[in-house]
Structure 1
Amino acid sequence: MSSRETPQLQLGWDIGGAHVKACLLQDGSVRDIAQWPCPLWQGMQHLDTALALARSRWADAWDQGVAHAATMTGELADLFAGRQEGVVRIAGQLAQSLGPSLVLFDAGFAWHAPDEAGPHWRGIASANWCATARVLASRVGDALLVDIGSTTTDLVPLRGGRVAAEGKSDADRLATGELVYQGVVRTPLCALGPRVRWHERMLNVMNELFATTADVYRLTGELAADHDQAATADGRGKDEEATRQRLARMLGCDAADGSPCDWLALARWWKDAQLREIQWNLARVGERAGLPADAPVVGAGSGTFLAAQLAARTGRPFLRYADVVLPVPAADASLASWADVCAPAVSVALLASGRG
């Protein structure tokens, strides 16, 4: 193959505290997208494992030579003494594994080499939402990005083709409502509210990691099994019986204390509590950005299904990230679904390849 015919390969990475996401572009088109569990708080060896799985999946990409671009949120893991240490250590480990082509995305719309991570750590830290928003902004004009992942929700206003977020750091974004620390897999159910309705009365819930939102959306049938990669709260199975038992513990009960319909009703109650919280923050963000009432919601993340429901609740049109951004064939529903889940990885790949 001549140099002119050699495929142009670009890998985009999103290094989170619980998952590693990656997107492989070939000649500017999406070839593959994947996600691997990476419980980074348990040690950097989990990042090595995820990177090794990626290399095994795309061995020919490494053989041919591939450019790498990364964003991250994993620096928040309590494995690190602070966020700067986290950014530097993750950057160093990525550089060692991925090679000299690696660049790191900065929310100030810049790129840095791994050895520049120390002085530029504030711009690199938790910038994945900004990569997704920047890619969408030029394509949709006015919109609200609603990226509901396994752990967090990003609510980003897009105004006139630009990213109109007020906050840049996690702390500022928590203050503005642009970051809601809830997701559809790993969020402890006690975070959704102090009380629930059970058998026509209100009960205080147990403030323990007995169950997570994945248990809710497993029972409602809305969480795709492929996206449900985190361990359960009790280390037991993900079947309906084990899931009901985890919900029951939140109330000081056992699964036998209710029928399957009872536990499904409880799951729906928790789902509604989560929707209310995200919707309240979405209204704050949209109002401050001055977005018109018909500006669409663009949904992304493993909770794209919730983003669609939020759009319906607020009377806004709904678009999927994959449909807006990628030339993915309609027949390839799986690839489109993974594009939604791994939107920051797709976005950083597109930006690095000049197609953002």
Structure 2
Amino acid sequence: MSTATGNLILGWDVGGAHLKRAVLAPDGTLLSVEMAACPLWQGLDKLDAAMAALSSATGRSVVTMTGELTDLWPDRATGVAGLSRALAERLGADTGIYAGRAGFVPATDAPDYAADVASANWHATAAALARLCGDGVLVDIGSTTTDIIRFAGTQVCFAGYNDAERMESGELVYSGAARTPVMALAPTLPFRGRQVPLMAEHFATTADIHRLTGDLPEGADLHPAADGGEKTREASARRLLRMVGRDLGPCTLAEAEALAAFATEVQLHRLHVALAQVLSAGGVAADASLVGAGVGRFLAQRLAARAGRSYRDAGVVLAGDPALAAVAADCAPAVAVARLATY
């Protein structure tokens, strides 16, 4: 699809691993949502390639980012300044940068608001949802991280704002549906009657375990596998079995699937502990729904059941068009930042 009009609003979520873009019509109708792999740590040319992979659309751009975290820059402040400048050069001088609690700022002013701009995409999603659905708890499980954010009375409720504070408060968990190394899930996993220490090697990722359980959504795993190999059940089994010092062949696919199922339970438990910590701070109604977003929201739905709360899909709330609900949930911060620009 190619859309050429200066009246469109383009919402961008510029991450360190993915580029996401939502396009809104002047009346707020969501027209499209797209995502492309963007290994930004390898250079700004990867940003150009990701942008080129998206359909053509022109209009005013608003941006939220986490890409300032990549080691393309020595620190967050330098990353915010460099990435904001690069985006203004590519998207136009009128590009607005989302500074979370400070609202939108011109790209040229972003360095002065670096602490507010850095990794504020969670705030954009929660702020948009707060305007649309009252009390709730956002559980955005992406490829790499999980955000757990309360919102109530149109306000975002958070105990921490920067990454360090949010990790301490349980609101940011470095556990995602695709890119998390399996060795980060637990020190051991059960296999053939024993608790086997996991090898401290990047042999397998959570994409492998969720592929083996049958839960990994199509399009959720856009980066190369840990070994650069195929993305089949057999290849995932081979990678996962390496984590416990085994090989596919002597070990069966069924054994790998059982290993994956338990690894999923370990990941869910960690997320449930974080959710309990966040909920213990209060501030939202006891019956407030969990609102799931991100490519790993199938896990958020299970968390809602474990927590005894109802579940809502962020894409249904944000999109307006049922046909775009799934991709809107996958790319919730991009849709959210575009919607916030219309208020």
Instruction: Normalising by structure 1, report the TM-score.
Output: 0.92
Counterparts in 2 of 1:309-320, with a 5 A limit? Answer: 309-320=302-313
Which consecutive unaligned segments of at least 5 residues does structure 2 have?
none
Question: 1:69, 1:348 within 8 Å by CA — same for their partners in 2?
Answer: yes
The Cα shift of 1:224 comes to 1.5
Q: State yes or no: 1:11 paired with 2:18.
A: no
User: How far, CA to CA, are the matches of 1:321 and 1:15 in structure 2?
Assistant: 19
In the alignment, which residue of structure 1 is the partner of 2:36?
A: 36
Question: 1:322, 1:328 within 8 Å by CA — same for their partners in 2?
Answer: no
In the alignment, which residue of structure 2 is the partner of 1:49?
A: 49
Instruction: Normalising by structure 2, report the TM-score.
Output: 0.96
User: How far, CA to CA, are the matches of 1:114 and 1:8 in structure 2?
Assistant: 19
Amino acid at match of 2:118: A
Indicate how the Cα distance of structure 1 residues 326 and 310 shifts in structure 2: closer, same or farther if over 3 A, else same.
Answer: same
The Cα shift of 1:160 comes to 2.8
Q: State yes or no: 1:213 paired with 2:188.
A: no
**For 1:274, which of 258, 262, 267 is the aligned residue?**
267
Which consecutive unaligned segments of at least 5 residues does structure 1 have?
1-5
Identity %: 43
Counterparts in 2 of 1:160-309, with a 5 A limit? Answer: 160-309=153-302
The Cα shift of 1:287 comes to 1.2
Q: State yes or no: 1:145 paired with 2:138.
A: yes
Instruction: Number of aligned residue pairs: give it.
Output: 338
In the alignment, which residue of structure 2 is the partner of 1:3?
A: none
Amino acid at match of 2:111: G
The Cα shift of 1:49 comes to 0.9
In the alignment, which residue of structure 2 is the partner of 1:350?
A: 339
Amino acid at match of 2:240: L
Of residues 208-217 and 42-51 in structure 1, the stretch that sits farther from structure 2 once superposed is 42-51
User: How far, CA to CA, are the matches of 2:114 and 2:251 in structure 1?
Assistant: 50
Of residues 114-123 and 262-271 in structure 1, the stretch that sits farther from structure 2 once superposed is 114-123
Of residues 18-27 and 107-116 in structure 1, the stretch that sits farther from structure 2 once superposed is 107-116
SS at match of 1:324: helix
Question: 2:94, 2:107 within 8 Å by CA — same for their partners in 1?
Answer: no
Amino acid at match of 2:334: A
The Cα shift of 1:326 comes to 2.4
Question: 1:219, 1:240 within 8 Å by CA — same for their partners in 2?
Answer: yes
What is the root-mean-square deviation in Å for CA atoms of aligned residues? Answer: 1.2
Cα shift readout 1:221-269 (whole Å, capped 9, x = no counterpart): 1111222111110101101111111001101111113222111110011
Counterparts in 2 of 1:124-143, with a 5 A limit? Answer: 124-143=117-136
Question: 1:216, 1:268 within 8 Å by CA — same for their partners in 2?
Answer: yes
Question: 1:107, 1:168 within 8 Å by CA — same for their partners in 2?
Answer: no
